[in-house]
C-alpha cells in the first residue's frame, strides 16, 4: 500500500539465533530508516541511511547490525538478542534533498518476539 | 536536537465530537509539520502536513494549525468516527531531513 514492504511480518527467535529483517522500497527515495516501537514507548529511531551511507546510529547495541546494499533495500541483522528487544520494527523511507516534503513512508513492520 | 512534546497521551471522545491534539517543538528552524496516523497492525501513515509559510490547512474533517511564534502545531478532527480511533504522531522537521516523532496520542472514539 505505502510502497514499502517488510519481511517477515512476524518473527519468533531464541536468544542464540541469528535472523535478518528485510525492507524494500521502490519509491525512488534516498533515505531509509529503522525504528523500534515497543508497547507504551515512543518510536525510537535506530539507524538512518542516506544514499547507502549510514548517517545515524542512535546508540543501538551491536547485536543489531544494519546493512544497506542499495537505495532500495535495507536489512537489519539480529544476533544474541534479549527478551527486551521484543518489539515492532518499522522500516521507513523518504526523500532527503531539495524542496521535497520529507514525508516518511512506513512499511507494516515486523513483530519480533525474543524467547 | 529537536525536543518534541505531544499532548494529550490519550484522548477519549464520543462519536461526532471534535478532537484536538497539540505538538510543541523546540527547533526554531523547523519548517515541515506533519501528522501521522497509525492503525492497529500497520505502520504510521501521513494524514496531513503543513509548511512553515502557512498557518492552517484543511482536508475534509481534519485540519492542522501552526503557530510558529509559540512553536506549536495542532491536529483537529471534527465529527469524529469510530474509524478515527488510532495512535496519532506529530513529527516536526528541523534543519535535517530526519524528523523527530512525538510520543503519540491514542485517540479512542466511542460509538
- Nearest to residue B100, comparing CAs of B41, B26, B39, B40? B26
The upper half-sphere exposure of residue A32, i.e. CA atoms within 13 Å in the direction of its Cβ, equals: 30
Contact A2 B45 (CB under 8 A): yes
Determine the pLDDT at residue A101. 63
Identify the pLDDT of residue A42: 84
Q: Residue B35: what pLDDT?
A: 98
| Distance in angstroms between the alpha carbons of the first and the last residue of chain A | 31
pLDDT at A55: 85
- The per-residue pLDDT for range B13-43, each reduced to its tens digit, is 999 999 999 999 999 989 899 999 999 989 9
Query: Could you give the CA distance from residue A74 to residue A22 in angstroms, rounded to a whole number?
Result: 6
Mean residue pLDDT across chain A: 91
Q: Which residues of B touch A110 (CB under 8 A)?
A: none
A55 burial (CB, 10 Å; 0-12 / 13-18 / 19+) is: middle
Residue B17 near chain A (CB below 8 Å): no
Q: Report the distance separating Cα B28 and Cα B95, nearest Å.
A: 9
Asked if the C-beta of A3 comes within 8 angstroms of chain B's C-beta atoms, the answer is: no
Q: What is the pLDDT of residue A39?
A: 84
Q: Measured between CB atoms, which of A42, A48, A106 is closest to B45?
A: A106
Give pLDDT, residue A111: 97
Query: What is the least distance, in Å, from the CA of B79 to any CA of chain A?
Result: 26
Q: What percent of chain B lies above the pLDDT cut of 70?
A: 99
Measured in angstroms, the CA of A54 and the nearest CA of chain B are apart by 13
User: Among candidates B46, B53, B56, which has minimal Cα distance to B32?
Assistant: B53
Amino acid A56: pLDDT: 84
CB A72 within 8 A of CB A26: yes
Four-point Cα dihedral B73, B18, A43, A96, nearest 10 = -50
Torsion of CA B105, A47, A85, A20, to 10 degrees: 120
Give the rounded percent of residues in chain A with a pLDDT score beyond 90: 72
For B108, the grid coordinates are 479512542
Q: How far is Cα B78 from Cα A101, in angstroms, rounded to an integer?
A: 25
List of chain B residues with pLDDT < 70: 1
Going by pLDDT thresholds of 50, 70 and 90, the confidence category of residue A1 is: confident
Considering only residues B54 and A43, tell me which one the structure prediction assigns the higher pLDDT: A43
Using an 8 Å CB-CB cutoff, list chain A residues near B91: 104
Cβ contacts (< 8 Å) between B104 and chain A: which residues? 42-43
Check residue A64 and give its pLDDT.
96
pLDDT score for A97: 67
| B residues 65..104 contacting A (CB < 8 A) | 89, 91, 93, 97-99, 101-104
* pLDDT tens, position by position, A59-112: 899 999 999 999 899 999 999 999 999 999 999 999 876 555 678 999 999 999
The whole-angstrom separation of Cα A21 and Cα A15 is 16
The CA distance from B71 to B26, in Å, is 7
Amino acid at each position: 500500500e505505502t510502497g514499502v514492504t517488510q519481511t517477515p511480518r512476524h518473527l519468533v527467535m531464541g536468544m542464540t539465533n541469528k535472523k535478518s529483517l528485510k525492507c524494500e522500497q521502490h519509491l525512488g527515495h534516498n533515505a531509509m530508516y529503522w525504528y523500534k516501537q515497543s508497547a507504551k514507548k515512543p518510536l525510537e529511531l535506530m539507524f538512518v541511511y542516506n544514499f547507502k551511507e549510514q548517517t545515524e546510529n542512535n546508540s543501538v547495541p551491536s547485536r543489531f547490525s544494519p546493512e544497506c546494499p542499495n537505495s532500495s533495500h535495507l536489512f537489519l541483522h539480529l544476533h544474541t538478542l534479549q527478551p527486551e528487544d521484543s518489539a515492532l520494527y518499522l522500516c521507513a523511507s523518504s526523500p532527503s534533498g531539495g524542496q521535497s516534503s520529507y514525508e516518511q513512508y512506513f512499511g507494516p513492520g515486523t513483530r519480533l518476539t525474543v524467547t | 536536537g529537536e525536543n518534541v512534546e505531544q499532548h494529550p497521551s490519550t484522548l477519549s471522545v464520543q462519536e461526532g465530537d471534535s478532537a484536538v491534539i497539540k505538538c510543541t517543538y523546540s527547533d526554531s528552524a523547523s519548517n515541515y509539520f506533519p501528522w501521522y496516523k497509525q492503525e492497529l497492525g500497520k505502520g504510521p501513515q501521513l494524514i496531513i502536513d503543513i509548511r512553515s509559510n502557512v498557518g492552517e490547512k484543511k482536508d475534509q474533517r481534519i485540519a492542522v494549525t501552526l503557530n510558529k511564534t509559540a512553536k506549536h502545531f495542532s491536529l483537529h478532527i471534527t465529527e469524529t468516527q469510530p474509524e478515527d480511533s488510532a495512535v496519532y504522531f506529530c513529527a516536526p522537521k528541523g534543519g535535517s531531513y530526519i524528523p523527530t516523532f512525538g510520543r503519540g496520542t491514542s485517540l479512542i472514539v466511542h460509538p
